[in-house]
Amino acid sequence: MKSMSQCLNFGKSVMDNGWGMFTVFLKYKLGLEGKQLIRIDRWYPSSKTCSSCNNIKKDLQLSDRIYICENCGLSIDRDYNASLNIKRVGMTQLAW
């Protein structure tokens, strides 16, 4: 929230609304739609994990925008790869 207020010029209006309150509202609104909020571990290596073979790339830099797996050869956008991993982990938690 702090970086969002600085980068997007929202200033104090964003800082007044805490992240905790945002998640409470989000959970409430999802509940009205018959959906639920799934949280994954903050330190889960979603960007460093291959969405195809689950190989973890230890030397991935923030400047690397394309994820290329050394194990299976998958070449995919880094953010899209991370979103696939987050979806998979969320679906696994939902199945429990």
pLDDT tens by residue, the chain, 96 residues: 556 545 555 555 555 567 788 889 999 999 999 999 999 998 999 999 999 999 999 999 999 999 999 999 999 999 999 999 999 999 998 876
- Residues 55, 32, single domain; the answer is no
Closest CA to 19 of 31, 2, 6, 35: 2
The pTM is what?
A: 0.72
Question: Which residue spans within 6-92 are E strands per DSSP?
Answer: 66-68, 75-77
Total structural domains within the chain = 2
Q: What is the pLDDT of residue 59?
A: 92
- Residues 26, 69, single domain; the answer is no
- Residues 88, 47, single domain; the answer is yes
Query: What is the three-class DSSP state of 39?
Result: coil
Q: What is the pLDDT of residue 3?
A: 60
- Residues 71, 31, single domain; the answer is no
Where in the sequence is the domain holding 29, given as residue range(s)?
1-37
